[in-house]
Amino acid sequence: MIVELRRWRMQDAQALAAVANNRNIWNQVRDFFPSPYTVSDAMQWIAKTAAENPPLNFAIIADEKLVGGTGCILKEDVYKKNIEIGYFIGEPYSGKGIATEACKLICKYVEDRMDIVRIEANTFQHNKASMRVLQKNGFYLEAIKQKAIIKNNILLDEYLWVKKVGNLG
């Protein structure tokens, strides 16, 4: 299977809405991710990412089909040498190694283009699949933030995963 990242295109809106409109995905991500996820939501997201310079958010393409999304958030202030990554894969495509490859690709992208020393990723306590993806990509568990997040009105632990970059790795 060939996995690649590319910039979002407005013609992705229908496919993005189809793959992202999934309650199981929403249960694993931050609340700014809409549920339900409509074509209008997809169009707004794609328009927002078009203005990014450098690009920070990408469509995940597997065998020429849109299967998810990945991106990063540049940290600021005293954290300016850190970047946070995230990703989601449509449920029909999970368990096929796509997330692992997409994580590898977004990490390579930020390592090659950004002046950073750490890549961070956060997972909810029950997202074992994402934890495995991060471990396969050289991340280690740095901290468990107990009862740090609330999702569906339930307090949850958040796991902080880190990959050091360059000679810090």
Q: pLDDT confidence of 166, banded at 50, 70, 90?
A: confident
Mean pLDDT of 26-41: 94
So what's the pLDDT on residue 169?
55
Residue 42 has pLDDT above 70, yes or no: yes
Give CA angle at 63 (59, 64), nearest 5°: 55
Tens digit of pLDDT for each residue in 124-150? 999 999 999 999 999 999 999 999 999
Residue 167 has pLDDT above 80, yes or no: no
Rounded Cα gap, residues 103 and 166, in angstroms? 17
In the chain, what are the domains? 3-168 (3.40.630.30)
Q: 43 with 20: CB under 8 angstroms?
A: no
pTM for this structure? 0.95
Q: 103 with 134: CB under 8 angstroms?
A: yes
